[in-house]
Homo-oligomer: A and B are copies of this chain.
């Protein structure tokens, strides 16, 4: 069997590496050679997209910003999983918001805006709001927090969504999987800590997750979704609202590589390739710390010496500020034990200068 992955970054890398032990070949397509290009069975340039799709039994993706030609061609051949709809909604934030709202999922109040000036005015009406470009933003890029003291500073004339600012208690996320027959499993939701819009660490399991699981099942059913989805939630006054979903394996699911019976990467490929998805068992509380903008070669000894850690290095060609270079998985007897280890890992990676690495 041949499974194609659109995108050659770390998520595809972990898919391939995790699933190497199955009788599956992995083909990768991208416009430049990221980490997974070097471990794929075959690499295709985007110009070869027809050959790529034709030679695969199934085609999936590891990021949302995909060339329209590839998407549509893979879809026309009936090979694309998750569906083209699931990813098209993600290519424009306003479409995602509208879909969620129209289908009755809980989201923050929002407005669509044709221009930044329009968005700025609508944000002022909310009092506090966040302006996000409809296209192309991730890891906090193209996002602007606005309150009554903010001044108009003139941004590019592109469409935006304006979200009412949510003073949430915490961010959580769920990783769930659904197969072509509608079978559904979920991993235990996690608490996520972000700074500058970038995930710094997370911990699983957490309590009060019934609503999160219920929303995941309904959203995936409504999209007739096949594969793993990550959904980020805000928890406000004990209620859950959706921040956004990701139609792919997700950074907040990397902890499933440690202390679970199966990882999000395996579940995703099992679903995509029409194999039996399985119930994940959680053996022990676990979490991750992202390695951002720093090399760890000199720190591996210290990280291992902490105990209860696993190292994941993404083999990117260059260390840059804000860039996710890898992550450290960590497990412990309890949520608090994991949290304590996470503090120690952050100290090893960043000292007290975390802020310098995520600018």
Contacts and interface: CB of A to CB of B under 8 A. Distances in A.
Interface of A: 14, 17, 20-23, 39, 258-259, 261-262, 266, 270, 275-279, 281, 283-284, 296-297, 300-301, 304-305, 307-313, 315, 326, 331
- What 3 A-B pairs come out closest when comparing CB atoms? A283-B283, A276-B304, A21-B312
A277 B258 CA distance: 17
15 contacts: A17-B21, A21-B326, A23-B297, A23-B313, A259-B261, A259-B283, A261-B331, A275-B301, A276-B301, A276-B304, A278-B305, A278-B307, A281-B308, A283-B283, A283-B284
A315 B259 contact: no
Given A258-B261, A284-B283, A304-B276, A39 B21 contact: no
Given A276-B301, A301-B275, A304-B275, A311 B21 contact: yes
Given A22-B311, A262-B310, A277-B304, 15 more contacts: A17-B20, A20-B39, A21-B310, A21-B311, A22-B300, A23-B296, A23-B297, A23-B313, A259-B283, A261-B308, A266-B310, A275-B300, A278-B307, A278-B309, A281-B308
Nearest to A270: B304
A305 B283 contact: no
A211 to B, nearest CB: 27
Given A17-B20, A22-B300, A23-B315, A305 B276 contact: yes
One complex includes copies of this chain to the number of: 2
A349 to B, nearest CB: 15
Majority secondary structure, A binding face: loop
Contacts of A279: 307
Nearest to A325: B23
B304 A278 contact: yes
A195 to B, nearest CB: 24
Nearest to A326: B21
A289 B308 CA distance: 28
A113 B21 CA distance: 43
Contacts of A281: 284, 308, 331
A337 to B, nearest CB: 12
